[in-house]
């Protein structure tokens, strides 16, 4: 992953690009790929003929390809995906649900994951060797996952073990939103993967085996889960991988119960207590529901916090006439509002900022990989090497044994 240097640390390019698609009018209309290339972010190169295709031409091409390929292809659409791609999904859901569904579908030779890179990696780990996992645009990464590069996590793990010196045991827990490398490292070192809905169970599992947890890469989900578990603020520290010993003293490391990796979600950290206060002042009957990747201050100020699926279930099952301000990705919020016209549903942030990496799955890229399949070519196949797959699967299987694994 290409990185840029700041004064104190290294910021992933994916983080710097997050605001590229932000706008105020709220219209996320899909433009031609040529127009969207002017947004100033990195796009994967694609044959030039796809650049000027109109939405109608792309739609016709995708429908034709789907009819030709039939059940041998399965298109997975994440909830955060833009509508003009989401509508082609055979199955929609969160990252883990989609990977699980892919693993249970033995008929599909070609599985197209309209999401981001770590999701496609997880699908490859969980599916059989003769299935092809395809990511339409290789530039669709994840800024949070990019904040925990393998070499940094490996070095940090060694530093932590050196400080503890065998005086205390520690278990690594990685959030689903991490690379296969990090999942593999956790599997190799007695650790586990978690989702936002079973993170608390992962903490319970880890503390039965150890005195400490290293939680990565999202410090906010890690802190919110720790506090829900009853861990004191004084026992929670943040590890900065670009400082010696994470910027912590040996005493702080030894006395901690939870060490949080200094990472975050570029989408969910946009939400603020000020936004919540604004809604409460102007819409006193509105319920505030946010994702636990938000900061602890936002989570504590909200009425409800929970996973992507919990947010969906809560809002969909709420009574007609209810009002909801939602702190999560805008495409999902807009879709909820459209599908539930009997309710007042809006995003907590008035500035429309889709996930800038997820948004790079443009319909033209979907058409490109589908036409590749028609020609017998797996464009952008995601393949995790066998060693990493083995250890990552250990960490995932430990998570599966916990149950309650909605992301």
> CA 326, CA 62: separation in Å to the nearest integer?
32
Residue 22 has pLDDT above 70, yes or no: no
CB burial of residue 1 (10 Å; 0-12, 13-18, 19+): middle
CA distances from 185 to 82, 154, 224, 383, 402 (A): 33, 8, 23, 17, 20
3-state secondary structure of 396: helix
Does residue 1 carry a pLDDT above 50? Answer: no
Amino acid 31: pLDDT: 87
Instruction: Give pLDDT tens digits for 99-122.
Output: 888 888 888 999 999 999 999 999
Mean pLDDT computed over 302-323:
96
Buried b (16+ CB within 10 A) or exposed e, 323-352: ebbbbbbbbbbbbbbeebeebebbbbbeeb
pLDDT at 404: 53
**Mean pLDDT, residues 355-372 taken together:** 94
Task: Reduce the DSSP state of residue 83 to 3 states and report it.
Answer: helix
pLDDT of residue 251: 96
Query: pLDDT tens, 252-292?
Result: 999 999 999 999 999 999 999 999 999 999 999 999 999 99
3-state secondary structure of 142: coil
Residue whose entry in the numeric block shows the structure tokens 């279930």: 313
To which residue do tokens 């892919």 refer?
102
**Per-residue pLDDT for 318 more than 90?**
yes
| Three-class SS state of 352 | strand
**pLDDT of 357 over the 80 cut:** yes
Q: Which residue has the tokens 């399965």?
A: 74
Judge whether residue 3 has pLDDT over 70: no
pLDDT > 90 in the chain, percent: 79
Domains located in the chain, CATH noted: 31-141+357-384 (3.40.50.10800), 145-265 (3.40.50.10800), 268-347 (3.40.50.10800)
The label of the residue with tokens 């299987």 reads: 397
* Predicted confidence (pLDDT) at residue 370 exceeds the cutoff of 60: yes
Give the span between the Cα atoms of 364 and 107, in whole angstroms: 25
């Amino acid at each position: 992953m290409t990185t840029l240097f700041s004064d104190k640390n290294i910021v992933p390019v994916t983080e710097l690009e997050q605001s590229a698609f932000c706008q105020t009018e709220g219209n996320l209309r899909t433009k031609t790929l040529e127009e969207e290339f002017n947004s100033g972010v990195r796009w994967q190169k694609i044959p030039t003929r796809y650049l000027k295709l109109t939405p109608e031409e792309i739609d016709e091409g995708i429908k034709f390809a789907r009819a030709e390929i039939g059940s041998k292809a399965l298109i997975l659409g994440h909830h955060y995906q833009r509508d003009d791609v989401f509508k082609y999904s055979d199955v929609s859901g969160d990252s883990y649900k989609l990977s699980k569904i892919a693993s249970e579908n033995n008929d599909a030779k070609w599985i197209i994951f309209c999401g981001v890179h770590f999701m496609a990696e997880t699908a490859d780990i969980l599916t059989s060797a003769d299935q092809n996992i395809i990511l339409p645009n290789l530039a669709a990464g994840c800024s949070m996952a990019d904040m925990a590069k393998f070499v940094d996590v490996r070095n940090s793990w060694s530093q932590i073990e050196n400080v503890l010196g065998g005086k205390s045991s520690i278990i690594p827990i990685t959030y689903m939103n991490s690379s296969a490398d990090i999942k593999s490292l956790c599997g190799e070192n007695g650790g586990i993967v978690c989702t936002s809905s079973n993170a608390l169970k992962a903490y319970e599992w880890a503390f039965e085996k150890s005195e400490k947890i290293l939680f990565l890469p999202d410090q906010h989900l890690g802190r919110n889960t720790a506090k829900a578990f009853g861990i004191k603020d004084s026992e929670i520290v943040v590890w900065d991988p670009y400082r010696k010993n994470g910027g912590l003293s040996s005493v702080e490391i030894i006395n901690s119960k939870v060490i949080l990796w200094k990472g975050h979600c570029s989408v969910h950290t946009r939400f603020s207590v000020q936004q919540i206060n604004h809604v409460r002042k102007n819409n006193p009957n509105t319920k505030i529901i946010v994702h636990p990747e938000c900061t602890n201050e936002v989570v504590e100020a909200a009425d409800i916090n929970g996973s992507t699926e919990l947010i969906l279930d809560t809002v969909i099952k709420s009574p007609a006439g209810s009002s909801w301000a939602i702190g999560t990705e805008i495409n999902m919020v807009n879709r909820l509002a459209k599908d539930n016209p009997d309710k007042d549903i809006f995003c907590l942030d008035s500035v429309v900022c889709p996930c800038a990496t997820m948004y790079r799955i443009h319909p033209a890229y979907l058409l490109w990989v589908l036409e590749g399949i028609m020609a017998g070519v797996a464009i952008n196949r995601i393949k995790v090497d066998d060693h990493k797959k083995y250890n990552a699967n250990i960490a995932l299987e430990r998570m599966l044994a916990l149950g309650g694994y909605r992301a």
